Amino acid sequence: DRSDASGTGYYSAESSSYQTDLLELAFRGRSPAVPRVLGPHDPAGQTPHGAVLGPGAGDNASAALGLSAGAGDCVVSLGTSGVV
């Protein structure tokens, strides 16, 4: 999902794409295979019984979304990562 991909340092959440220049630099000119990054409404797959599977998200990103914080709000989260 986008929250995990953006944590890699070579995915741009702003452009919704991998930063291929960084990847090619890190891999000495080669372009590594990278997974498709799913949006919140994109199906990730399907179970044998037909249930649609959606993308996941990191715990901190999910918690931030669940708070419905808006512009001007301040939230402090201490868990698997510390974020202000």
Encode pLDDT of 13-71 as tens digits: 889 999 999 999 999 988 889 999 998 889 999 999 999 999 988 888 888 888 988 88
Contacts of 2 (CB under 8 A, 6+ apart): 11, 13, 16, 37, 38, 39, 40
Place of tokens 């799913």: 38
Q: What is the pTM of this model?
A: 0.64
DSSP string, 40-51: TTS--EE-TT-P
User: In total, how many domains does the chain have?
Assistant: 1
Per the DSSP assignment, residues forming a β-bridge with 77 are 83
User: Structural domain of residue 77, as residue ranges?
Assistant: 2-83
- Amino acid 82: pLDDT: 62
Annotated catalytic sites, by residue?
Answer: 59
